[in-house]
Structures are given as structure tokens and as C-alpha cells.
Structure 1
Amino acid sequence: MTAAATRAPWKTAATLLARLIFAALFIMAAAFKFSNIEGTAAFIAAAGFPASLFLAWCAALFECLLILGFLTGAFFTETALLAAVYVLFLAFSFHGPGRWAGNQAEFGFFVDHFTFIAGLLFAAVHGPGRVLALRFGLIGRGDEEQTA
């Protein structure tokens, strides 16, 4: 019997649940952007970025691609790695050290991004799981998950 065949059912369920949580977080983020794209653009402009409306649309569309990757499992490793880089960018751009003096809560927001990044990196290493996962990828086949 292979290691994959002896995988505990709770591990399969937990992996699928994690994918759904990642997708849900980006669904909420994209929904907020699409529902108030001008407000998102103003937030981006306040952080000092040019072409804020264009960047707001790019962010919303990029988040839709991340959602697709997490829900399908296709290009999962790439999706998780790109999401981690994106979240790191967001942490420094919108909640970085320059904002801590004016609002101590910003430090908390900054740190929270790193727990999210840790989960994304873990997911990138272990893959999308066995259930409801398309096996497409450039870095790996998408089924690199480890059994513990």
C-alpha cells in the first residue's frame, strides 16, 4: 500500500479546507475591491503609488486568478508562491514600519501578514491535496504533498 493510500482522511479534509480558506480570503479582498474600486484606488494613491486606478484593477484581477488557483488546485505551487509574494508586498507597502509610529495597530496588521505568508509557503511545499485538485503546474506536478 502506498503512502498516499494510507493518508489519514482528516489530512485530506484539512488540506481542502485550507485551500477553501485561502480562496475565501482572496474572494473577500477582491469583492471589496470590485465593490469600491475608487476607494481602493484612493488607498493605493495614499500609499504613494502612481496610476492607482489601474493598479486597483490589476490587484482585483490578480486576486481573481489566485482564487481560481486555490479553488481548482491547478498551478497550485505557483499560485501559493505568487500569493505569498503579493502578501509580502502588501505588508510592507500598506502596513510597513513607516506607518507604525502613527498607529500602533499597523504593526499588528504587518505581523498578521507573515502568518498568512507562512501558511502560503507551507501550502506551496505540500501541494493542493488529493481532492478536487487539477494536476497542472510549472514548478511541480501539484501532488508533492508529504505524508506525515
Structure 2
Amino acid sequence: MVETQSTWQTAAILIARLIFAAVFAMAVTFKFMDMGATAGYIAAAGFPFPLFLAWCAAILEVLLVIAFLTGAFFTPAALIAALYVIFLGFSFHGPSHWAGNQAEFGFFVDHFTFLAGLFFAAVHGPGSVLSVRQGWPGSA
């Protein structure tokens, strides 16, 4: 039996994809507006080669935006985004930051909410509408 998506399910999936894309588009826009500031933030967290890492992050975020908008390589992109988001949560908002600013704990927890959505998206795929059917072997 072939299950079809209802109109509201299709709309919900498309809205979720747009939200994922928008979050990463905003992040990469801020990086492109001031790559030096991004590098400074990375350096302040103790990472080496901050400008190189800032550019790597920007490139990754552009690729994630494309994947979420097109549906191409959707499942692997969602899993990569999930790893990236949890890495960012621990690196920039993790337990070592909580003593200095309690709001950091909230920022940290927010990463897990986003992580849950990305895992859900990875399992269920990009939906049947406006999705380029490209992916790695075994991906939806």
C-alpha cells in the first residue's frame, strides 16, 4: 500500500525545510558580513586557525541551505547539520560557559531542540514535493 501525504503534511514538511534553510542562511549571512568577527569568536573559544575554520563553517552552511531548499542529499545533510549543531552547542555554549552567564545554558539547551528536529528530518526525508531526488546510497 502506497501512503500519500496530505496537504497539511506536505505544507509542514516544506515549512520545516524553509526554517532549517533560513537558520543556516542567517548564520552564513552574518559570517559573510564580518568574517573577521566570526574568526574572533572562534579564536576566543580556543580553536586554532580561526579564519580558516570560519570559512569552512560558511561553506558548510551554504551547502546545508542548498540541501534543505532542494531536498538533494537531504538525509546526509540533516545528519551533518545535527553533528554541526551539537558541536556548536558544546563548543560555544557548553558547561564551561554557564558560570559566567546563565543565559548560556538556555542557548545550549536550544541546540538540542534543533538537533531533535534535524534527526526527525533525517529519518523522514524531504517529502515528496519540491525535492530533488539525489542522495547517497541508502539515503531517502
Separation (CA, whole Å) in 2 of partners of 1:110 and 1:71: 26
What is the number of residues matched between the two proteins? 140
Aligned to 1:145: none
Kindly provide the amino acid, as one letter, of the partner of residue 67 in structure 1. V
Aligned to 2:86: 88
Kindly provide the amino acid, as one letter, of the partner of residue 2 in structure 1. V
Work out whether 1:27 is the aligned partner of 2:38.
no
Separation (CA, whole Å) in 1 of partners of 2:71 and 2:116: 18
Contact 1:77 1:140 in 2 (8 A): no
Aligned to 1:46: 44
Residue number among 122, 125, 128 corresponding to 2:123 in the alignment:
125
Kindly provide the amino acid, as one letter, of the partner of residue 85 in structure 1. L
RMSD (Å), alpha carbons: 1.0
What's the TM-score, normalizing by structure 2? 0.97
Separation (CA, whole Å) in 1 of partners of 2:77 and 2:61: 10
Work out whether 1:134 is the aligned partner of 2:132.
yes
- TM alignment of 1:44-123, pairs within 5 A: 44-123=42-121
Kindly provide the amino acid, as one letter, of the partner of residue 39 in structure 1. A
Work out whether 1:3 is the aligned partner of 2:9.
no
Contact 1:78 1:139 in 2 (8 A): no
Contact 2:85 2:115 in 1 (8 A): yes
Q: Which ranges of structure 2 fall in alignment gaps of 5 or more residues?
A: none
